Amino acid sequence: MGNCHTLFTGQPDPISTEERVKVFTVAELKKTTKDFSKGMVKGERFGSHVRGYINPKTLSPAKEGVGMAVAVKRFYMFKDLDQDLQDWLIDLEFLRRNSHPSLVKLIGYGSDRRTLFIVAEYFPIGSLENHIYRETRPKPLSWETRLNISIGVAQCLAFLHSWKKTSLSRRYLTASKILLDLEFNARVSY
């Protein structure tokens, strides 16, 4: 099936095979997520986040609970396909080549016609939104934890704003896009 760049442009992908990320086929993503099972869906705003499992060494699909949990985000492209694709390719290139301790780690990507996929780290305790706004939220966050989260987000935003070519810094930042690791460190999602 190829990857998104080849699929949409007909040109060979400029992404080297030696890069840190994997190009997933849609078949691999379906296997990773149990065919995008509703039980695995984590969000449905501008696409959806589906939990899946991969082998941490080979990055191939793994059985639920056996491999490393990942989040597979689907982006649906609508009217302006060319602009959506161009923005996505620029952001993908940025994420492939750059990392920051407070930015969610990109593991891979893939595509299928009008759907683009990003495979990234999975955060089992969820987003900042879950810990602030939900009625069923866990215990309240301490002020020290809140300050640590704020500092992490600010550092990530400063990093993103230092790069002119990516649209990641111009996107809406909401509490739902701030994910928390097991130590409650902030990780900004894309």
Q: What percent of the chain has pLDDT over 70?
A: 76
CA distance 175 to 54: 27
Q: What is the pTM of this model?
A: 0.80
**What is the topology classification, in CATH, of domain 4-121?**
Phosphorylase Kinase; domain 1 (3.30.200)
Are 8 and 112 within 8 A, CB to CB?
Answer: no
pLDDT at residue 183 is higher than 90: yes
CA 3 to the chain's CA centroid: 17
155: which residues sit within 8 A by CB, 6+ positions away? 100, 101, 102
Domain spans of the chain?
A: 4-121, 128-188
Q: What is the pLDDT of residues 104-162, one digit of tens each?
A: 999 999 988 778 899 999 999 889 998 888 777 678 899 999 999 999 999 999 998 88
The reported pLDDT for the residue numbered 5 is 46
**41-43 vs 106-112, strand pairing mode:** unpaired
Q: Name residue 65's amino acid.
A: G
Calpha distance 110→2 (Å, rounded):
8
Cβ-contact 163, 169 below 8 angstroms? yes
